[in-house]
Structure formats: C-alpha cells, structure tokens
Amino acid sequence: MIPWVDPGQALPAPDTALIEPNGLLAAGRDLSAQRLVEAYAQGIFPWFSEGQPVLWWSPNPRMVLHLNELRVTHSLAKKMRSLGRSGQWEVRMNTAFVEVMSQCALPRPDQDGTWISEVIIEAYTALHRAGLAHSVEVWEGSELIGGLYGVALGKMFYGESMFTRRADASKVALVVWARKLQELGFEIIDCQQNTGHLASFGAREIERATFLRDLHRLSQLPGPDWSSVRLALDSSAPVQHSQAKC
C-alpha cells in the first residue's frame, strides 16, 4: 500500500518507496507547480498514465549522467563538427517548449502509449513559465527536428524526455546541453531510470542515498541566468569518446 497525498500534505520521504514496483511512493491528484517543485527537490517525480491518479516515484538505484563522464561516439562527434561548420542545424533553448513536449508525447514504435498527457503538458508548461522547466531544440531551418525538456533547480537538472525526427537530432541536443550545463557549474543530469540509450552516453546507476546527497547540495546552489544562456554546436568542447556505434 502507498499513501494518498492530498493538496497541502507533504510527500513522504523517498526511502519509504516500495521495492516493487521499484520506487512507487505515493498517489494523489495535485500536480501544481508548487507540488512539482516540492517533489523534484526531494528526488521524486510523477509518472502515470492518463486516467490514473498522479503517481509519485523515487527509484533505487537512480540513473544519472555525471557530466564529466559524458561519452560521445566518434561518428557523432564528426557529425557535430560538420553540422557546426555548415550551419545546417541550429540548437536553441526555450523557443518552443510546448512543441517539444508535444513531440515527446507522440507514439513511438516501441511503446504502447505515452505518459505525457495534456495534464502533464499543462503542468510542466506552468513550470516553464516560472523559469524552472526548459527545452532544448534542434532546428533545421524552420523545422523542429529534435530536442529534450526537463526541470532545473539551482544547479541540478532533471531530464524528462527527448524526441528525434532526424537521425541523431536528440543526441545532438543532449550533447550540446550536457556541455553547456557543465560549463554553467552543473555536475549531473538526473535520468531517472535505466535505458541503454542513456547508458551509451555514460549514464550509470547510483544508490538513491548518494543521488539524494548530490541533489540536496546542487539544488541549493544559485542557478544561472537562463535568459543569457545560448546554445551552439561547439566542436571544440572536450569529450570522452566511446567506441560503440550508436
């Protein structure tokens, strides 16, 4: 059994989450911006299907990408250098937040449905308006071809979802964003759950207790002035190279 959390009630501590299903912590109906900030500050995130109550999760272990461990394949690095020289693709931030979320919500061949419902889009758009949720977009001319979105508290970034409409577009978004975050003093991206795709970039699982210690330290630091942040296909940034083909 998990507790039901009404508006005004605090979410339970992450270490009270179930072992099976891994990380399920609580349920409720409140998905306000205030509730989301409360949750992310404690390493808790919402994940539920349309028609369900809001389900809150904090899995153990936790998948994270340490930015100093970012790996980029030789082929992707070469492609980014080429794109950077040609100007064929452009990477922007926060110019199409709702569109990025809507693209992330579209059905995928390997999934039965999507958890990014209209309710989720509305909730995270409110966070975006508050300056706490951000989108990274890859454009080819006037066409949005890839991107990602997530939440930032202090110097802690929580990745939520990504999409691609061209080969490697979401990978380019992730690499450019990871490099920029490291430049701004961020140390990790919370990836929430283990996927082979994120592991190929160097993401790995750590104990929830370790993740929470990092989160509490980083989220209390002053965040950057996001209005002054610009993104670019910078071919000069150092990266670790992976031999994997992806």
pLDDT tens for residues 112-121? 557 899 999 9
pLDDT in tens, 170-183: 999 999 999 999 99
String of DSSP letters for 166-215:
STTHHHHHHHHHHHHHHHTT--EEEEES--HHHHTTT-EEE-HHHHHHHH
Mean pLDDT of the chain, nearest integer? 93
- Same domain? For 156 and 179 the reply is yes
Rounded distance, CA 47 to CA 45, Å?
Answer: 7
- Same domain? For 124 and 236 the reply is yes
- Same domain? For 133 and 80 the reply is yes
- Same domain? For 134 and 49 the reply is no
pTM for the full predicted model? 0.92
Q: Which of the listed residues 59, 79, 96 is the one where a domain comes to its end? A: 59
Domain count across the chain: 2
Token representation of residue 197:
């795709």
Backbone angles phi, psi at 105, to 5 degrees: -80, -15
In this prediction, residue 246 has a pLDDT band, given cuts at 50, 70 and 90, of very low
Which among 103, 236, 239 is positioned nearest to 169, based on CA atoms? Answer: 103
Point out the least confidently predicted range of 16-20, 163-167, 193-197, 201-205: 193-197
- Same domain? For 211 and 127 the reply is yes
Rounded distance, CA 157 to CA 191, Å?
Answer: 9
Higher pLDDT, 127 or 50: 127
The sign of the torsion formed by the CA atoms of 24, 210, 159, 11 equals: positive
- Same domain? For 125 and 13 the reply is no
Question: What pairing do the DSSP bridges indicate for beta strands 62-66 and 54-57?
Answer: unpaired
